[in-house]
Structure 1
Amino acid sequence: TGGPSGGCLPTELLDTPVDYDSLKAVGSMMGSGGLIIMDEDTCMVDVARFFLEFTQDESCGKCVPCREGTKRMLEILERITKGEGVDGDIELLEELAGVISKASLCGLGQTAPNPVLATLKFFRDEYEAHIHQKRCPAGVCQALLSYHIIEDKCKGCGLCKKVCPADAISGDLRKPHSIDKDKCLKCGACAAKCPFKAISR
């Protein structure tokens, strides 16, 4: 709710009235009055990264907390979505968010960390999956995807092999194929082409 400086709320709060006091009480804001509905196929870590990228780009650069703080937060979120997150990143994001909110000179800087704080509050498990399990629960963060062929379902038709731009799939006709993880670009062309739904990510 509220645009890039607003907050992200879980389904449990879907019935929250859209007014200033109600949204503020749950850690969000009216902001621009915008409202976006997302489903389980949306990565909340990536959403926070997207919104922070916008606010970081909009920063005038006058005050250090906003200019440098949002840049550091964005770098951390980009690392996390690339599977390079480490222990302590969540706590560092929270610490930076607190400093930026309190020390920034204008409303943009003061509210820039809101999407990160809201997603950490309500979707912390997604951050932990990215950092500790190197997995994106929504299957959005490409660096964390891993495609594999389910042998029981693979008929060995070779369609996946033909569409793979990296020549990462091998196997004989009418026998289960396999994907070379080192060559795989994680583009998803194989999964999209497989008529037997034998490729999972």
Structure 2
Amino acid sequence: MATNIVWHEASVSKEDRREKNDHGSFCLWFTGLSGSGKSTLANALAKYLFEANVQTYVLDGDNVRHGLNKDLGFTDEDRKENIRRIGEVSKLFVDGGQIVVTAFISPFREDRQQVRDILNENEFFEIYVNCSLDECEKRDPKGLYKKARNNEIKHFTGIDSPYEAPVNPELVVNTESQSIQESVKTIVQFLEEKGLIKSGISNGI
């Protein structure tokens, strides 16, 4: 652990950036099984908000593992470290005045709670992208369930590694019964109701 380090206060504060952007900064944490539609939904939401002049950035599970977390595997310990790092990166984006949208399976409640604890109140919103295992297996967009069933992949969530669904998420979207567009509208309306973005942004959906 590093020693002899001192936190340096930034000359531009989080509040300054929020005021200039004219919207809040926070983390929307999408959690759900592989194939539930997290990445698709995260990117659709980010595009819609961006076109409405809302500053967003998507942190996607696979993309992050190409760089920052390429040294991590999929054991329980590595999954925990993966989420811890993303929590710290998310905090940086929030401090920078951005809305960060994360798309990670993040199977363990304890790890998601750890990220919530890293951020301040009203800066972390857990969104459960609910989709049944059967439906996710039918979709299997990356062919991962098939490999897991054939024992070609170990520690695969939903097959031989558990997924702990949120107990009390801020929001649930069901991608099995809702279209991506409907899910985006649900989330944008939620943000409007919370006063985190301007009202009326959802009117274009």
Structure 1-normalised TM-score? 0.26
The structure whose RCO (Cα within 8 Å, separation 6+) is larger is 2
Structure number with higher strand proportion:
2
Structure number with higher helix proportion:
1
Q: Which of the pair has more CA radius of gyration? A: 1
